Amino acid sequence: MPDRTLRVCALYPDLMNIYADRGNLLLLERRCTWRGMGFELVGVGLGEEIDPDAHDLLYLGGGQDRDQQLVAADLATRKRDAVHAHAARGGAILAVCGGYQLLGHSYELADERVPGVGLLDLETVRHDGPRLIGNVAIEVDLPGTGGPRVLAGFENHGGRTHLGPGVRPLGRVLKGHGNTGSSGHEGAVQGAVVGTYLHGPLLPKNAWFADWLVRQALALDVGLPPLDDALEDAAHAGARTAAGL
């Protein structure tokens, strides 16, 4: 489908990029190129505006606490309306770890409650227990994927994310901790908006999920042309094994 172009906007790419999560953007670019599709990537930082109609996919990674606090103030004020408008028209969003927390109503950082963008019905609170760290695998059932599939990655978060009734979990924890360490759920999904704690980076370990995101972002009713995914399948198998599946 050479006439299609995936337009991606990376939010705060200089501040919200840990655990090699920039690899998520690289994988999207490569899979589009291999299929003869166009790929456009722009970065939007602090103090800059977002055009809610200019992008198919917004990407928000994780960051250190200090950087995340700077981003939270900017996202909840300058960019809030545009992010909501993007999602309302069916635009896709992938938010990882700190980015996932920022999609909710608020999260606790040290002794402060920091506002989120309020797109997903969830809140993240601090916890006296240990950080939730390690390889993780979850079972997800997304429309158009032919039934339950496994996402595998790596989690490292001190916050516990609690979902409200307005959003559903991304998946069921098979191995690892997930949102709270006890809920049995990981991540959150609402239409084409996905939040997750899975790092590693996520998409190179789960190429099928990257393709699902592209389809959602471009509102495609048909599947993408197949690729030789021998290496991608091996990466996914390795991630599953690391998680204990």
Active site residues: 97, 199
Angle at 157 between CA 166 and CA 188, to 5 degrees: 20
Phi/psi at 66 (5° precision): -60, -45
Query: In the 8-state DSSP scheme, what is residue 232?
Result: H
Q: Give the whole-angstrom CA distance, residue 101 versus residue 120.
A: 9
Q: What single-letter amino acid sits at 166?
A: G
Q: Where are the beta strands (DSSP E) in the chain?
A: 5-11, 38-44, 57-60, 92-96, 106-109, 112-115, 122-125, 132-140, 149-157, 160-163, 171-175, 185-186, 188-190, 193-196
